[in-house]
Amino acid sequence: MVQRINSKITSKITLLVIIEIILIVGSFGVLSYFQSLQSSIGNSINIAGKNRYLTANLLLQIERYLDGSSDISHINVVMNSLQSNIIGLTGGGSISGVHLRPLPSEFSDLWNTVNAKWNTYRTAISNILIIPSEEGKANTIDKLTIRKQFNSLALDLIGASDVLVTQLGEQVDKNSYNLLILQITLGILNMGILALILYLITRILRPIFVLTQAMSEVKKGNLEISVQENNKAKDDLSILTRSFNLMLDTIRNHNKKQDELTKDLARANEELKQAGRLKDDFINVAAHELRNPVQPILGLAQILRSKKMRKNDSHNKSITIDEEYKLLDIIVRNAKKLLLLEENILDVARIENKSLKLDIEECNLYEVLFRIPEIK
């Protein structure tokens, strides 16, 4: 029973804790994912920004080439750099030690523009600077015009790249805001679930608190309490509460029975004491009644004896024969009284051990009553 209660409470709480852990881990996962998206967009901004520098560099190399202070190979190196930079921007991969994700699809239009500008620029370079190579053709073409053309193409490419960078930057801003909202939302959700767990734990454990309180009351000796119980609930703690109340009922009933028994015993004891007192009284009265007739017998016998002795003396003031008879009658009457008393006491004993035999015969009730001195 106890084990079952434990397992049920534990499983309820464990389930809630698992939900909470999943939520926390999930929150971290989601946030980390969005964070990594943010940083990858940042990387893209970085690489797209590099276009500006490479384009400017290319322009510089072209200038040098046109001046004749550098050869075409420098232009090729920078062109290759720019080419891989732009391709890497859309396809992803490792560029300049930075791991890049493919560009999000919503930026493909902007990238296409950049790429188109780049292709125009590249084609122009190939057509004008690399492919011709007819002797002196380059020289014949107006260098100023070429410079102007390349400048404008480079500016186009830089402009397109800048647009991409700006758009990516805006996207980062927007994402940051959304991330903040998401963080707050998940935080609130976590707190809510935590509060729910605490509430549920308190609710699950509430009967235990109530029972503990009731127990301490019982410990103080207050048995006139009962814990409020939910009759419909079938969970273990409700059963425990019900059992607790039943236990209190049982204890109360036992106490009541014990009290009744104690009262019965006290009553029986009192009756016994009363009987003892009555017996003592009886013995006192019996002793008194037995001693009373002895006094005349003893006293008169002594008197008569001393009178008889004195008769022999010269000194004669003796009592008459009639008086002597009177005294002897008193002695006999008291002796008879003593005998009767003795028989009465024996009768009491016979009544007590239920062996008294009644001597049933007709009698004169008046005479019987007249013999009783108090009525006489």
Partner 1 sequence: MIIDDNPDITTTFKMGIESSNNYANHNKRIEVYTYNDPIAALSDFKPDFYDLLLIDINLPNMNGLELCEKMLMIDINVKVCFMTSGVVSREALREIYPAVSLGCFINKPVTIDYLVNRIMAELD
User: Where on the chain is the footprint of partner 1 (CB under 8 A)?
Assistant: 284-285, 287-288, 291-296, 298-300, 302-303, 306-307, 310, 315, 317, 327, 330, 333-334
**Closest among 225, 227, 213 to 252, alpha carbons compared:** 225
At 102, which amino acid appears? P
By C-beta, is 32 or 284 nearer to partner 1?
284
CB of 303 to partner 1, least distance (A): 5
CB of 376 to partner 1, least distance (A): 13
Contacts of 121 (CB under 8 A, 6+ apart): 55, 58, 150, 153, 154, 156, 157
Per 3-state DSSP, the chain is made up of helix, strand and coil in percentages (nearest 5) of: 80, 0, 15
CB of 310 to partner 1, least distance (A): 7
Structure tokens at 148: 């102007």
User: What is the spatial distance between Cα 99 and Cα 72, in angstroms, rounded to a whole number?
Assistant: 31
Name the 3-class secondary structure at 222.
coil
**Closest among 115, 101, 105 to 45, alpha carbons compared:** 101
By C-beta, is 164 or 327 nearer to partner 1?
327
Other C-beta atoms closer than 10 Å to the C-beta of 268 total: 10
CB of 299 to partner 1, least distance (A): 4
CB of 368 to partner 1, least distance (A): 22
By C-beta, is 136 or 373 nearer to partner 1?
373
CB of 326 to partner 1, least distance (A): 9
Question: Could you tell me the CA-to-CA distances from 282 to 278, 335, 345 in Å, in that order?
Answer: 6, 21, 10
Cα Rg of the chain, angstroms: 66
Name the 3-class secondary structure at 98.
strand
CB of 219 to partner 1, least distance (A): 49
Question: Could you tell me the CA-to-CA distances from 46 to 198, 360, 368 in Å, in that order?
Answer: 48, 141, 145
By C-beta, is 37 or 330 nearer to partner 1?
330
